[in-house]
């Protein structure tokens, strides 16, 4: 693993915060736009398409997603207290990765579409449906907020084959104070 240490660093596999369920945001909160903006900045700094609060060392139920290649602001999704209410279909054979598990890319089965109850900065509830890569990213981030990692959903044989690599990442993270 040769990637440079960025600032602020993202929490890496082995850090207990990645296994913590984030706490529901209680409205009103004045700082939500600011928190989201800084999370987008961190995510873009890593060239990621999604970032959950616990990856940034925060414990609020907030995540950000932007799957557009141009990082267009119109495509930004801020997830606050998101709840998946419906999933449909299936997407396979797509490699999924995670900024907190550097170097690991695995085919992970996901629904093709999902519908999510979400909240805006003012605490108003909105429902949206998304599909394909964006649905994959949204579901991945919601898993993070619930203390889950994408590797948890892999078949056990596939997971077992990753054990050695994961131990190495965890040790590397400890040595580099990334967890």
| Catalytic center residues | 141
Q: Which stretch binds Co ion (CB under 5 A): 5-13, 30-38, 60-68, 95-103?
A: 95-103
The least distance separating Co ion from the CB of residue 49, rounded to whole angstroms, comes to 9
Binder among 49, 65, 98, 178 for Co ion (CB under 5 A): 98
Our finding on whether 56 is near Co ion (CB under 5 A) is no
Q: Which stretch binds Co ion (CB under 5 A): 7-15, 66-74, 82-90, 94-102?
A: 94-102
List of residues 6+ apart from 106 with CB closer than 8 A:
95, 96, 97, 150, 151, 154, 158, 162
Q: Using alpha carbons, select from 63, 61, 55, 60 the residue that is nearest to residue 17.
A: 55
The least distance separating Co ion from the CB of residue 140, rounded to whole angstroms, comes to 6
- E strand segments, the chain: 50-52, 62-65, 77-80, 83-88, 95-96, 106-107, 113-119, 125-131
Region for 30 from its dihedrals, namely left if φ exceeds 0, alpha if ψ lies in -120 to 50, beta otherwise: alpha
**Residue 56 or 121: which CB sits closer to Co ion?**
56
Q: Which stretch binds Co ion (CB under 5 A): 11-19, 20-28, 98-106, 157-165?
A: 98-106
The least distance separating Co ion from the CB of residue 150, rounded to whole angstroms, comes to 6
Geometric angle at alpha carbon 24, from 87 and 101, rounded to 5°: 65
The least distance separating Co ion from the CB of residue 51, rounded to whole angstroms, comes to 8
Q: Name the closest residue to Co ion (Cβ).
A: 98
**Residue 100 or 121: which CB sits closer to Co ion?**
100
CA 16 to each of CA 11, 36, 55, 171: distance values in angstroms, whole numbers, following the listed order: 9, 22, 10, 14
Q: Which residues bind Co ion (CB under 5 A)?
A: 98
């Amino acid at each position: 693993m040769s990637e440079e240490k960025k600032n602020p660093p993202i929490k890496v596999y082995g850090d207990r915060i990645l296994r913590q369920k984030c706490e529901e945001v209680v409205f009103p909160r004045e700082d939500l736009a600011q928190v989201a903006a800084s999370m987008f900045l961190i995510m873009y700094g890593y060239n990621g398409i999604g970032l959950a609060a616990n990856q940034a060392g925060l414990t609020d139920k907030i995540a950000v997603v932007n799957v557009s290649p141009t990082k267009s602001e119109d495509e930004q999704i801020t997830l606050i207290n998101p709840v998946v209410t419906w999933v449909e279909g299936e997407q396979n054979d797509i490699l999924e990765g995670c900024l907190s598990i550097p170097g690991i890319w695995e085919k992970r089965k996901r629904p093709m579409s999902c519908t999510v109850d979400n909240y805006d900065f003012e605490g108003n509830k909105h429902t949206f449906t998304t599909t394909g890569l964006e649905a994959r990213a949204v579901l991945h981030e919601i898993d993070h907020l619930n203390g889950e990692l994408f590797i948890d959903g892999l078949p056990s044989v596939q997971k077992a084959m990753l054990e050695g690599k994961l131990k190495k990442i965890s040790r590397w993270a400890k040595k580099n104070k990334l967890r």
